[in-house]
Amino acid sequence: MNYLVGQSPVGIETVLSVASLGITIYFWFVQADRERPRLRFFQLGDFRASLRRVQGQEGMRRLCVQQADSCGVLVANDSTRQNAIINYECAFRHGGKWVKGDWGYVDDNKPPWNIGPESSIALGLAFFFDVEEGFEVPPQIEFRVIFNVVSGKRFVSSFWLKAPNLSLQEELVTTRQAA
């Protein structure tokens, strides 16, 4: 072969090797993305709220919120790895600010909640908040919940006293999948 001075030939083997390396790296990134923790939360049912007196605390009441149905909140694991929610933090919006509360569970559905790869489970959530004596439960309350998972990642989701319209929920899922 006749080569020009200062130039080296690029053989078909080199091109194929570089292409193979590029494809391998791409699939490593795709697989790594599928393996990272990715949870989605859906409110399927309503919560019910009640006010109770707090022993030893004058002027305070305890707002107790729990699911009306046993499968009111669904969590979907979009990862190819198992995930576990170890606990959660909760707050509700009152008077323009977030009031932190205590978390609980319904029946024997207590954390940790293990979610298999690419599957879903129902959660039994309950929230407890200290509020002033004159507090009245409004028809709709927004709750912010921060779920803590084993990997250290935190997932934030909002729930309402009355579940959103299911067709709206489906529209949100379709919109998120398209994004």
Strand partners, 126: 66, 104
pTM, entire model: 0.69
Q: What percent of the chain has pLDDT over 70?
A: 80
pLDDT, mean of residues 62-78: 84
How deeply is 144 buried, as exposed, middle or buried, from its count of CB atoms within 10 A (0-12, 13-18, 19+)? middle
Q: pLDDT for 130-141, tens place per residue? A: 888 888 888 888
pLDDT, mean of residues 11-32: 77
Given CATH 2.40.50, say whether it is the number of domain 38-178. Answer: no
Predicted pLDDT at 122: 87
CA atoms within 13 A of residue 26's CA, in its CB half-sphere:
6
- Domain extent listing, the chain: 38-178
In terms of Cα–Cα distance, which of 45, 43, 110, 33 is closest to 78? 33
Task: State the average pLDDT for the chain.
Answer: 80
CA distance 115 to 113: 6
* 7 vs 50, residue with greater confidence: 50
- Largest alpha-carbon pair distance within the chain? 98
Residue pair 123/157 in contact (Cβ under 8 Å)? The answer is no
Predicted pLDDT at 179: 47
Q: pLDDT for 75-84, tens place per residue? A: 999 888 888 8
> Is 148 a residue whose pLDDT tops 60?
yes
